[in-house]
Amino acid sequence: MVEKVYLKACSSYEDSKLADKIREGLEQIDFDPNLFSGMRVGLKPNMLLPSNPDRAIITHPTFFQTVAQIVKEHNGIPVLLENPAIHGLNTVLKKTPYGELVDTLGLEVPDMTPTQLIPFDDAYRYKKIEISKAFFDVDMLINLPKLKTHGLTIITGALKNLFGVIPGLKKSRIHLKAPSRDEFSNFMMDLYGALSHGFDPPKPMLHIMDGILGMEGEGPGLSGTPRQVGVILMGRDPLAVDWAVTQIVKISPDDVPTLKAGFDRPFCISSPDEIEIVGDKLEILQLQSFKASKNSIFSNAVRWPFTSPLFKQLLVEKPVPNPDKCTLCYQCKQICPAKAISRATEPAKIPTYDYNACIRCFCCMEICPEAAIQAQKGWLQWLLRY
């Protein structure tokens, strides 16, 4: 089995040939866009939180609009499907250009609250997963991830974007059940397996990544830094697309836990040898000095004794609020799956963290609207440099 990944240089969302490049990508990966005809096509962007598109936190609305128009020109019916981390979808629509897009394109935006279990008998652990019922009500899915870094999974790529099929705060329960990088990555592969095999009939799936303006540093939220990457990526297999991302930003695939977990599963590619790059050559798209997340290999990566309270304090990064930026909005408290965050006590001007209970999922850092939370190294982590 060989999976094609289309790469195409694209420096701006105002590129007059953006639509042509995406159409070329569909052809290059052997997908006939006439298959959209008469189909309800779910478009799943990354809409983590309300944000200006220039911050590179959300899939750029122009990128989304271009794909939606291609679906419509082939007589498909685009449906916007997304579960933001903590804000309701309607709130994110109102506070971003997506709200105007919905009206302009006449997009259907279903209620994402009702849920339904999707089965996957070959899952390692999660044989039934609760997802928004709206995903059952479309005929196919186009995943529209944003190229970003992530403290837990290293990159927020095509695979991680599928986590958004799970409604808002229900995601926190997953982080509590699967707190380590390996456990969470294996959950993501169980989820991908369910989305690939659990629908009856199966739903075709495409992954078209917005890598024009990406994010480096402490992504995927406001603590990250926008970075011009200048590329569109497209493929049928999310692992193949995510592997191509690691080659562009020069991160070792061995450091990306979702790739390691995915290559071990029988229902997708098993190594980079099964990936064929089409479109532009990889070498001309590679970046220099791309900044990955600073979270070390010890963050959520290993089990006891390193996840015991003592070793967590010594050797694992922890999220720390900055009193100069914190507004005590308590969105961190609301999203924390471990209930490790409580209200501030006088005279403190930041929420109180129980670091023994904290599972280091960094959800609080991911959604903080003021970018007031940073990862602080453990007491003895400096020794690891030697």
Upstream peptide bond of 114 is cis (omega within 30 degrees of 0): no
Three-state SS for 191? helix
Range of the domain at 326: 309-385
pLDDT in tens, 340-365: 999 999 899 999 999 889 988 989 99
Residue 385 has pLDDT above 60, yes or no: no
Residue 147 to residue 60: CA distance in whole angstroms: 11
Length of the chain: 386
Q: In terms of domains, do 252 and 376 share one?
A: no
User: Measuring CA to CA, which residue among 84, 60, 81, 64 is closest to residue 366?
Assistant: 84
The mean pLDDT of the chain is 92
> Is pLDDT at 26 greater than 90 in this prediction?
yes
Separation of alpha carbons 331 and 342, rounded Å:
11
Predicted confidence at residue 180, as pLDDT, reads: 87
Residue 168: HSE in the Cβ half-sphere, 13 Å Cα cutoff: 16
Instruction: Check whether residue 90 and residue 40 sit in a common domain.
Output: yes
**Confidence category of residue 311, pLDDT binned at 50, 70, 90:** low
Q: What is the C-alpha separation between 262 and 258, in angstroms, rounded?
A: 6
Residue 378 in this model has a pLDDT that exceeds 60: yes
CATH code for the domain in which residue 164 is found: 3.40.50
Domain with residue 339: its CATH number is: 3.30.70.20
Please give the pLDDT value at position 318. Answer: 86
Mean pLDDT of 285-303: 69
What count of other Cβ atoms lies within 10 Å of the Cβ of residue 329?
Answer: 13
Q: What is the mean pLDDT of residues 183-207?
A: 97
Q: How confident is the model at residue 380 (pLDDT cuts 50, 70, 90)?
A: low
Whether residue 279 has pLDDT greater than 80: yes
Q: How many domains does the chain have?
A: 2
Give yes or no: residues 232 and 361 share one domain: no
Q: Per-residue confidence at 147, pLDDT binned at 50, 70, 90? A: very high
**Same domain, yes or no, for 279 and 367?**
no
Given this model, what pLDDT does residue 379 score?
Answer: 62
Per-residue model confidence (pLDDT) at position 337: 92
What distances in angstroms separate CA 281 from CA 6, 30, 58, 239, one per listed residue?
10, 18, 27, 19
- Of the three residues 284, 318, 351, the one that is the final residue of a domain is 284
Mark whether 80 and 117 lie in a shared domain.
yes
pTM: 0.90
